[in-house]
Amino acid sequence: MRAAALALLLAADPRAQLEALRARRAAEEAAARQLGGRERSILEALAGAERAAAESASEAVRAEAARVEAEGVLARARREEAAAQERVAEHLAELAPRLRARQRLGRLGELRLLAASGSIAELARREVLLGRVLAHDLQVLAGARGALAESERARAAREADSQRLAALAAEAEARRAEAAARREEHRALLAAVRGALALHQRAAEELAAQGHKLAEFIAALPPPRAGVPVHAGFAALRGKLPRPADGPVAVGFGKVVDQRFKTVTVQKGIDIAAPAGSPVRAVAPGRVVHAGWFNGYGNLVIVDHGDGYHTLVAHLESMTTAMGEEVGAGTRLGTVGQTGSLKGAYLYFEIREQGRPVDPRSWLAR
């Protein structure tokens, strides 16, 4: 195994291998710093790494959107320059024959043309017409000069947009690299939590404490304001609810024994093994009373279904609802993710009756 690993190492680009080792060491050092003190919360360290990664990724998206917009401006500048060049060519094509004719005629030729008039009236008429031709030619020349100036401005705008485009592309690349570094820190931190018994136990204890805080949070939720629809009838849906996401139940309700560490935790909901990015939907009509981050649960959405019933979906990658929004059965709440998760991407689902967690499996339709 060592020989094979050494062969692969030698076959690869040494500089790339060195950069990879440096990046991995930096991630491990960052994870060690985050978990250095026993007073430091594992969940807070994970939340910090995830939020930094999310912010960097969002900035990269914004920079990329600005880069695309700059490309559109650049394309418009190129079209304007081409149009200006066409106008210059048109003006010159119109003006060239008369300029050549006047050059051949010369000033003496103009005098001869006027002198050939049969009368004073004819002389005046020819002079007026000659003046109009001269004025028109001057106007065409001015138009050509304006078109040339417009072409130069379009070219300058194109050059400025090119520079801006290059700067935006560099910024987007830097943001993507930063997001990748944050994700690597997160992975190193998760590996440390999953690989050490003490850290695993600490994380389990913190998750239990956060479960109590979540119960207190739900109990303290204010009642609906006047004029807000009050939902009812959730109790009649027992055994009929659709799953909030497609996938089997991976971890059930109640006591759960970790097969590796033999630690015992209490699940107040169920884990649904749904693919990352798949839609998460409301199981019944209700009102969103929370849509945001909750330590230990990541992005969390809580729906009040009335009569003291609440459903919770956690670890969402994205949320497509907001607090106070009225939702119907099947309304999309977000997507499956792994925010705040120690186990990768999955959907955590709870049902609470008067603040007390109940087994969701007895409520779900077959």
Which pLDDT score is estimated for 221? Answer: 86
Which pLDDT score is estimated for 22? Answer: 57
**Average pLDDT value over all residues in the chain:** 78
Considering 11-15, 87-91, 93-97, 207-211, the range whose residues carry the highest mean pLDDT is: 207-211
- Contacts for 121-125 with beta carbons within 8 Å, 24 or more apart? none
CA-CA-CA-CA torsion for 310, 313, 314, 316, nearest 10 degrees? -140
Which pLDDT score is estimated for 139? Answer: 79
Give the residue-averaged pLDDT of 141-150.
Answer: 75
Helices and strands counted in the chain (H then E): 5, 12
Q: How confident is the model at residue 316 (pLDDT cuts 50, 70, 90)?
A: very high
Q: Is the pLDDT of residue 8 over 50?
A: no
- Give the integer Cα–Cα distance in Å for 262 and 191: 18
User: Residue 324: CB partners within 8 Å, gap ≥ 6?
Assistant: 287, 288, 289
Query: 21 vs 352, which has greater pLDDT?
Result: 352
Which pLDDT score is estimated for 32? Answer: 53
Which of 300, 295, 298 has the alpha carbon at shortest distance from 338?
Answer: 298
Which of 17, 116, 83, 47 has the alpha carbon at shortest distance from 296?
Answer: 47
The DSSP string of 154-219 is HHHHHHHHHHHHHHHHHHHHHHHHHHHHHHHHHHHHHHHHHH-HHHHHHHHHHHHHHHHHHHHHHH
Radius of gyration in angstroms for the set of CA atoms belonging to the chain, rounded to a whole number: 36
pLDDT by residue (tens digit) across 246-299? 999 999 999 988 777 677 888 999 999 999 999 999 999 999 999 999 988 999
pLDDT by residue (tens digit) across 326-361? 999 999 999 999 988 888 899 999 999 999 999 999
Strands 332-336 and 298-306: unpaired
Give the residue-averaged pLDDT of 50-73.
Answer: 76
Beta partners for 279? 335
Q: How confident is the model at residue 71 (pLDDT cuts 50, 70, 90)?
A: confident
Which pLDDT score is estimated for 76? Answer: 80
**What domains appear along the chain, each with residue ranges and CATH number?**
44-189 (1.10.287), 226-362 (2.70.70.10)
Which of 352, 268, 275, 274 has the alpha carbon at shortest distance from 310?
Answer: 352
The DSSP string of 230-249 is PP--GGGGTTTBPPSSSS-E
Q: What is the pTM of this model?
A: 0.61
User: Residue 150: CB partners within 8 Å, gap ≥ 6?
Assistant: 80, 84, 87
Give the residue-averaged pLDDT of 53-63.
Answer: 75
Query: 82 vs 323, which has greater pLDDT?
Result: 323
Q: How confident is the model at residue 149 (pLDDT cuts 50, 70, 90)?
A: confident
Angle at 179 between CA 176 and CA 181, to 5 degrees: 110
